[in-house]
A and B are shown apart, each in its own frame.
Chain A
Amino acid sequence: MSDGRAGSQPCFARPTPVFARVHFREVSAMIYDLELYKIGKVYDNGTPAVIDFNLSVNKGEFIAFLGPSGCGKTTTLRMIAGFESISSGNMMVKGVRINDMRPADRPTSMIFQNYALFPHMTVRRNVGYGLEVKGMAKVERDAKVDRMLSTLGLDDIAEKKTDRLSGGQRQRIALARGLVVEPDILLLDEPLGALDANLRKAIQNELKLLQRTLGITFVFVTHAQSEALALSDRIVVMNQGRVEQISPPHQLYTRPNTPFVARFIGRNTIFQGAVRGVEDGRIIVDTPFGTLAGGANGDMSLGAAVNVVIPAEAMEVHTLNRTMRDTISRQSGGNVIDAKVNRFDVVGHISHLSVELPDGRAIALEAHIDKYPPGVFPAGSDVLLAWQPGQATVIPAT
């Protein structure tokens, strides 16, 4: 588990106590938009929902909380919004502690999966609601609302009631309503979850564009990997109340920190083994499939139980050939494994391949037909899987 921008930090960059940071900031004028320091949530019945959540978010960053249901991501978001009390830790927005602030006093706005529009108001009144209650003059308010309505393409339906509108329109209204009050941070709780697949893609793009244009910090909760990967600058992967990894999307793929992340993100194959040594900056691991090598992620001592993680994209399939075996093995730093072809189908221009490992595990691979032409790997044939050591990651097994 690491704080901030994964892996790249040296080990002395431990989370500094909050009071020390506040002091530090006075000197450097470095202020995060949102800071979570050791945030914890324990329900009344004693069940911990969130444990030691640390996160610092820069202004204008797009953060996604990703994890299976019940992992604590929504609870954390609701703690930021003020809908749930915080059991321990500190939470700050622009350097101001917000732990005990009422939701109404926090500089945050929340977007809900079910839109939560006010059904007794028109679209325009929905959007203008926050400003109206604050007592903003009608002329000024109307100008702001009009601008926001046109930003989100809602001009045509401004006078309509919300109940007959489509899901996409409703979520745009909710976005307009949340953004028009100019929050420091927009919180989004699975905002695309109730939309159908095509619409989801479209709104996803709009959302990203909107966030870039407005430069507002977004914190986005989702259980859909593709959404998190497509939208966010950094992803917080959560599992059972704990933060597993905080990384930019591509690093979650290439350098998972924990076995959970390796299994949860992308399509990785994991081999269990024990550390034998270090060679050319790579960790050498003894596994039941032979000796494998990979880049280290985390501290590991000699003989420690580790996982070797290989992304499906890194695996090359070769026809098994006695004379070539040594060459392939040498070229891929010894990272070769025997396998048997289960299935080989071509769909359009993509070849889909299912191979079986000696331990019975099946791996699904795919590539362009130029790489694996039709008929090249007949079902039942023996093949060799190979990958470059740089593309494999070795992580502690626990």
Chain B
Amino acid sequence: MQASGTKLALGIYTTLFLVFLYGPMVVLAILSFQTGPEGGPQFPIIEWSTYWYKHLFGLTPPTRIAPLPIEEALVRSLLLAVMTMIVSTVLGVTSAQAFRKKFTGSGFAFYLIVLGMMVPGVLVGLGMALVANALGVDRHWWGTTFVLHVVYTYPFAFLVMLAILNRFDQNVEEASWSLGVSPVKTFRKVTFPLIFPGVLSAMLFAFTLSYDEFSRTLFASGRDLTLPLAIYGTFSVEVHPNVFAFGVLTTLFSFALLGTYAALMMLSIRRARRVAIQEEA
């Protein structure tokens, strides 16, 4: 009796969870198939069509609704995310490696790093803008914004790597040293291949966090907008379902990214085996 009650409660909870998680996305996806150009971003669906997808790529006859000004912003955001991903992951891996041994001030350094993800983004963005002004530095997405993105995503990469290295068996490294292999070579040949799945996770974190970062970017970027800013900019005029169509496409892109991540994971697991077989041949 009690068990079935619990089951029911858990079932309701899970359903609600899924509704709240996917509801907005589903609504967005449905509305993106609204007819155009006269159909608006609301129910009911007047007629199903792929008009707004075509509109997104400039494949529709021109109307009073301007195409989304996102082309350059998309490229910028992707570049920024890749740059941030590389720098944050390198920083995260090396500093987490350093934290495996206690050193003077390691506790302080830990909180200093983690602070980057704790402080409110709007404030840091504003602060960066003020500092840039005071120093007479121009604000750019590849400058001030990039620094803020690294400050923000580096703690995530760092924490991921810290967790991975925490579970890492120190004896495996020691075994390598005692076989006459220097610490640097040991890191390359043993440690890194073993923590590589963690490195991939850190990269994924850094990339996605940077890709849709808004609050820090708002104040710290200059004239040239990143993707989230560009999309937000279109809201201030009038919302059309073309934004939803774009949302669906970016979501698909994210899934593609996750798929790549999974594929790379599989590859890293199989690679060692294949190398061994090749060596045999």
Contacts and interface: CB of A to CB of B under 8 A. Distances in A.
Interface string B184-200: 01100110011000000
Contacts of B178: 81-82, 103-104, 106, 108-110, 178, 187
B171 A114 contact: yes
A265 to B, nearest CB: 30
Contacts of B175: 110, 112, 116-118, 174, 177-178
Nearest to B102: A44
A130 B181 contact: yes
B185 A133 contact: yes
Interface in B160-187: 169, 171-172, 174-183, 185-186
Given A121-B272, A122-B273, A124-B276, A116 B174 contact: yes
B280 interface: yes
Interface residues of B, number: 26
A24 interface: no
A23 interface: no
A85 to B, nearest CB: 12
A133 B171 contact: no
Nearest to B172: A116
Interface string A106-141: 101110101011111110110001100110000000
A230 B180 CA distance: 31
A43 interface: no
Interface of A: 81-83, 102-106, 108-110, 112, 114, 116-122, 124-125, 129-130, 133-134, 159, 161, 174, 177-178, 181, 187
23 contacts: A83-B177, A102-B182, A103-B178, A104-B181, A104-B182, A104-B186, A109-B178, A109-B179, A112-B171, A114-B169, A116-B174, A117-B172, A122-B273, A124-B276, A125-B275, A125-B279, A129-B176, A129-B189, A133-B179, A134-B181, A159-B277, A177-B179, A178-B179
Interface of B: 169, 171-172, 174-183, 185-186, 189-190, 193-194, 272-273, 275-277, 279-280
Q: Give the 7 A-B CB pairs with smallest separation, nearest first.
A: A130-B179, A116-B171, A103-B177, A120-B272, A116-B175, A110-B178, A122-B276
